[in-house]
Amino acid sequence: MSVWAILVAAGRGERLGLDRPKAFARLGDEPLLAEPLRRLDRSPWIDGIVLVAPPGWEEPAILLAEEEGCGKVHACVAGGETRSDSVRAGLAEVPADALVVLVHDAARPLVSDEVVERVLAPLSEGWDGVVPGLPVGDTLKRVGSDGAVQETVSRDGLWTIQTPQAFLVDTLRRAQAGVADATDCAGLVEAVGGRVKIVDGDPRLLKVTSETDLETVAGWL
Protein backbone atom coordinates (compact mmCIF):
# COMPACT_ATOMS: atom_id res chain seq x y z
CA MET A 1 0.00 0.00 0.00
CA SER A 2 1.34 3.42 -0.79
CA VAL A 3 1.02 6.08 1.88
CA TRP A 4 1.35 9.76 1.07
CA ALA A 5 1.60 12.67 3.49
CA ILE A 6 0.30 16.16 2.87
CA LEU A 7 2.15 18.59 5.13
CA VAL A 8 0.10 21.77 5.36
CA ALA A 9 2.34 24.71 6.18
CA ALA A 10 0.62 27.51 4.29
CA GLY A 11 -0.91 29.43 7.19
CA ARG A 12 0.03 33.02 7.90
CA GLY A 13 0.60 32.51 11.62
CA GLU A 14 -1.30 35.67 12.49
CA ARG A 15 -1.55 34.82 16.17
CA LEU A 16 2.22 34.33 16.35
CA GLY A 17 2.56 37.78 14.79
CA LEU A 18 6.03 37.48 13.24
CA ASP A 19 7.34 39.11 10.04
CA ARG A 20 7.12 35.72 8.28
CA PRO A 21 4.73 32.78 8.10
CA LYS A 22 4.64 30.40 11.08
CA ALA A 23 6.34 27.63 9.05
CA PHE A 24 9.46 29.80 8.95
CA ALA A 25 9.40 30.87 12.59
CA ARG A 26 12.53 29.84 14.48
CA LEU A 27 12.23 26.58 16.39
CA GLY A 28 15.54 25.87 18.07
CA ASP A 29 18.11 26.65 15.38
CA GLU A 30 15.91 26.02 12.35
CA PRO A 31 12.73 27.11 10.61
CA LEU A 32 9.79 25.33 12.30
CA LEU A 33 8.93 23.49 9.06
CA ALA A 34 12.24 21.56 9.14
CA GLU A 35 11.19 19.44 12.13
CA PRO A 36 7.89 17.94 10.89
CA LEU A 37 9.24 17.64 7.34
CA ARG A 38 12.29 15.66 8.47
CA ARG A 39 10.20 13.48 10.76
CA LEU A 40 7.74 12.55 8.00
CA ASP A 41 10.54 12.02 5.47
CA ARG A 42 12.35 9.63 7.81
CA SER A 43 9.21 7.67 8.67
CA PRO A 44 9.31 4.18 7.17
CA TRP A 45 5.50 4.30 6.90
CA ILE A 46 5.50 7.16 4.41
CA ASP A 47 6.29 6.78 0.71
CA GLY A 48 5.83 10.32 -0.59
CA ILE A 49 5.22 13.85 0.68
CA VAL A 50 3.38 16.84 -0.77
CA LEU A 51 4.45 20.06 0.88
CA VAL A 52 1.94 22.92 0.93
CA ALA A 53 3.82 26.18 1.42
CA PRO A 54 2.67 29.74 2.11
CA PRO A 55 2.03 31.51 -1.22
CA GLY A 56 5.34 33.10 -2.31
CA TRP A 57 7.36 30.83 0.00
CA GLU A 58 7.48 27.75 -2.26
CA GLU A 59 11.13 28.29 -3.12
CA PRO A 60 12.46 28.58 0.44
CA ALA A 61 10.33 25.52 1.30
CA ILE A 62 11.88 23.48 -1.54
CA LEU A 63 15.37 24.67 -0.57
CA LEU A 64 14.76 23.61 3.02
CA ALA A 65 13.58 20.17 1.88
CA GLU A 66 16.75 19.82 -0.22
CA GLU A 67 19.02 20.99 2.61
CA GLU A 68 17.40 18.46 4.93
CA GLY A 69 17.82 15.69 2.36
CA CYS A 70 14.09 15.05 2.30
CA GLY A 71 13.99 12.86 -0.80
CA LYS A 72 10.33 11.87 -0.42
CA VAL A 73 9.07 15.38 -1.23
CA HIS A 74 7.39 14.92 -4.58
CA ALA A 75 5.75 18.32 -4.95
CA CYS A 76 5.61 21.68 -3.25
CA VAL A 77 2.54 23.80 -3.97
CA ALA A 78 1.22 27.10 -2.69
CA GLY A 79 -1.61 26.86 -0.18
CA GLY A 80 -4.89 28.70 -0.24
CA GLU A 81 -6.85 31.16 1.87
CA THR A 82 -8.11 28.54 4.34
CA ARG A 83 -6.64 25.32 5.66
CA SER A 84 -9.20 23.35 3.62
CA ASP A 85 -8.06 25.15 0.45
CA SER A 86 -4.48 24.20 1.29
CA VAL A 87 -5.38 20.54 1.84
CA ARG A 88 -7.25 20.59 -1.47
CA ALA A 89 -4.19 21.99 -3.27
CA GLY A 90 -2.05 19.28 -1.67
CA LEU A 91 -4.43 16.43 -2.45
CA ALA A 92 -4.42 17.42 -6.13
CA GLU A 93 -0.70 16.53 -6.18
CA VAL A 94 -1.11 13.10 -4.57
CA PRO A 95 -0.72 10.48 -7.33
CA ALA A 96 -3.78 8.57 -8.50
CA ASP A 97 -2.34 5.23 -7.39
CA ALA A 98 -1.79 6.32 -3.77
CA LEU A 99 -3.95 4.32 -1.37
CA VAL A 100 -3.68 6.22 1.89
CA VAL A 101 -3.12 9.87 2.69
CA LEU A 102 -2.01 11.41 5.97
CA VAL A 103 -2.79 15.09 6.45
CA HIS A 104 -0.54 16.78 8.98
CA ASP A 105 -0.24 20.34 10.34
CA ALA A 106 3.32 21.67 10.11
CA ALA A 107 2.34 23.68 13.20
CA ARG A 108 2.53 20.36 15.15
CA PRO A 109 6.27 19.78 14.69
CA LEU A 110 6.73 16.76 16.96
CA VAL A 111 4.96 14.10 14.89
CA SER A 112 6.22 10.62 15.80
CA ASP A 113 6.35 7.28 14.04
CA GLU A 114 4.27 5.82 16.86
CA VAL A 115 1.33 8.13 16.17
CA VAL A 116 1.67 7.58 12.40
CA GLU A 117 1.46 3.84 13.04
CA ARG A 118 -1.57 4.30 15.31
CA VAL A 119 -3.55 6.28 12.71
CA LEU A 120 -2.68 3.92 9.85
CA ALA A 121 -3.59 0.63 11.53
CA PRO A 122 -7.42 0.96 11.66
CA LEU A 123 -7.65 1.77 7.92
CA SER A 124 -7.13 -1.93 7.20
CA GLU A 125 -10.07 -2.75 9.51
CA GLY A 126 -12.65 -0.90 7.44
CA TRP A 127 -12.49 2.61 8.91
CA ASP A 128 -12.68 5.52 6.45
CA GLY A 129 -10.60 7.86 8.52
CA VAL A 130 -8.53 7.81 11.70
CA VAL A 131 -7.62 10.79 13.86
CA PRO A 132 -5.45 11.13 16.96
CA GLY A 133 -6.99 12.79 19.97
CA LEU A 134 -6.76 13.38 23.70
CA PRO A 135 -9.69 13.00 26.10
CA VAL A 136 -10.70 16.39 27.51
CA GLY A 137 -9.22 16.67 31.00
CA ASP A 138 -10.41 20.05 32.21
CA THR A 139 -13.93 20.91 33.33
CA LEU A 140 -15.98 22.44 30.53
CA LYS A 141 -18.41 25.34 31.00
CA ARG A 142 -20.56 27.23 28.54
CA VAL A 143 -20.05 30.95 29.09
CA GLY A 144 -22.15 33.84 27.82
CA SER A 145 -20.77 36.97 26.17
CA ASP A 146 -21.30 38.74 29.54
CA GLY A 147 -18.79 36.38 31.15
CA ALA A 148 -21.45 34.57 33.20
CA VAL A 149 -21.33 30.78 33.39
CA GLN A 150 -24.47 29.34 31.84
CA GLU A 151 -23.83 25.68 32.49
CA THR A 152 -21.23 23.05 33.20
CA VAL A 153 -20.97 20.71 30.24
CA SER A 154 -20.21 17.02 30.74
CA ARG A 155 -16.83 16.15 29.26
CA ASP A 156 -17.93 12.55 28.91
CA GLY A 157 -16.87 11.29 25.48
CA LEU A 158 -15.30 14.62 24.46
CA TRP A 159 -11.87 14.58 22.84
CA THR A 160 -9.61 17.27 21.41
CA ILE A 161 -8.40 16.34 17.96
CA GLN A 162 -4.89 16.52 16.54
CA THR A 163 -3.10 15.57 13.33
CA PRO A 164 -1.81 13.49 11.50
CA GLN A 165 -5.21 12.34 10.24
CA ALA A 166 -5.27 9.27 7.96
CA PHE A 167 -7.75 8.49 5.19
CA LEU A 168 -8.18 6.22 2.23
CA VAL A 169 -7.31 8.62 -0.61
CA ASP A 170 -10.51 7.91 -2.54
CA THR A 171 -12.63 8.60 0.52
CA LEU A 172 -10.99 11.97 1.15
CA ARG A 173 -11.27 12.94 -2.52
CA ARG A 174 -14.98 12.05 -2.54
CA ALA A 175 -15.58 13.91 0.73
CA GLN A 176 -13.84 17.00 -0.64
CA ALA A 177 -15.95 16.92 -3.76
CA GLY A 178 -19.16 16.51 -1.77
CA VAL A 179 -18.77 18.97 1.10
CA ALA A 180 -17.96 22.67 0.98
CA ASP A 181 -16.05 22.96 4.24
CA ALA A 182 -15.40 21.49 7.66
CA THR A 183 -13.06 22.42 10.50
CA ASP A 184 -10.83 19.43 9.77
CA CYS A 185 -10.47 16.74 7.10
CA ALA A 186 -12.22 14.18 9.28
CA GLY A 187 -15.19 16.56 9.40
CA LEU A 188 -15.49 16.32 5.61
CA VAL A 189 -15.45 12.53 5.77
CA GLU A 190 -18.01 12.51 8.62
CA ALA A 191 -20.28 14.82 6.60
CA VAL A 192 -20.49 12.27 3.77
CA GLY A 193 -21.27 9.45 6.21
CA GLY A 194 -17.74 8.07 6.60
CA ARG A 195 -16.76 6.23 9.78
CA VAL A 196 -13.94 7.96 11.60
CA LYS A 197 -12.05 6.34 14.47
CA ILE A 198 -10.15 8.06 17.26
CA VAL A 199 -6.83 6.71 18.47
CA ASP A 200 -4.57 8.04 21.22
CA GLY A 201 -2.80 11.23 20.25
CA ASP A 202 0.20 12.70 22.02
CA PRO A 203 0.47 15.83 24.21
CA ARG A 204 3.70 16.59 22.31
CA LEU A 205 1.61 17.07 19.16
CA LEU A 206 0.80 20.49 20.61
CA LYS A 207 -0.09 22.94 17.85
CA VAL A 208 2.17 25.99 17.89
CA THR A 209 -0.11 29.02 18.02
CA SER A 210 1.69 31.50 20.29
CA GLU A 211 5.26 32.37 21.24
CA THR A 212 4.81 30.35 24.46
CA ASP A 213 3.90 27.24 22.42
CA LEU A 214 7.03 27.76 20.34
CA GLU A 215 9.14 27.82 23.53
CA THR A 216 7.33 24.77 24.91
CA VAL A 217 7.94 22.72 21.75
CA ALA A 218 11.56 23.94 21.53
CA GLY A 219 12.02 22.65 25.09
CA TRP A 220 10.83 19.19 23.98
CA LEU A 221 13.23 18.91 21.03
Q: Which stretch binds Mg ion (CB under 5 A): 6-14, 98-106, 166-174, 179-187?
A: 6-14
Cα–Cα distance measured from residue 143 to residue 52, given in angstroms and rounded to the nearest whole number: 37
User: Taking CB under 6 A as the rule, does residue 88 contact ligand CTP?
Assistant: no
Instruction: Give the three-state DSSP class for 43.
Output: coil
Binds 86: which of ligand CTP, Mg ion, none (CB < 5-8 Å by kind): ligand CTP
Cα–Cα distance measured from residue 48 to residue 70, given in angstroms and rounded to the nearest whole number: 10
Burial 167-181 (b: 16+ CB within 10 A, else e): bbbebbbbbbeeeee
Q: Which stretch binds Mg ion (CB under 5 A): 1-9, 11-19, 180-188, 191-199?
A: 11-19
User: Taking CB under 6 A as the rule, does residue 107 contact ligand CTP?
Assistant: yes
C-beta of 53: minimal distance to Mg ion in Å?
A: 15
Nearest CB to ligand CTP, comparing residues 38 and 207: 207
Nearest CB to ligand CTP, comparing residues 107 and 205: 107
Cα–Cα distance measured from residue 74 to residue 81, given in angstroms and rounded to the nearest whole number: 23
How many residues belong to the site for ligand CTP (CB under 6 A)? Answer: 22
Binds 15: which of ligand CTP, Mg ion, none (CB < 5-8 Å by kind): ligand CTP
Interactions with ligand CTP, residue window 173-212 (CB under 6 A): 207, 209
C-beta of 164: minimal distance to Mg ion in Å?
A: 17
C-beta of 199: minimal distance to ligand CTP in Å?
A: 20
Cα–Cα distance measured from residue 59 to residue 213, given in angstroms and rounded to the nearest whole number: 27
Cα–Cα distance measured from residue 72 to residue 111, given in angstroms and rounded to the nearest whole number: 16
Residues with Cβ within 8 Å of 219's Cβ and at least 6 positions away in sequence, in order, are: none
Q: What angle do CA 71, 72, 74 make, to 5 degrees?
A: 105
Cα–Cα distance measured from residue 193 to residue 214, given in angstroms and rounded to the nearest whole number: 37
C-beta of 106: minimal distance to ligand CTP in Å?
A: 4
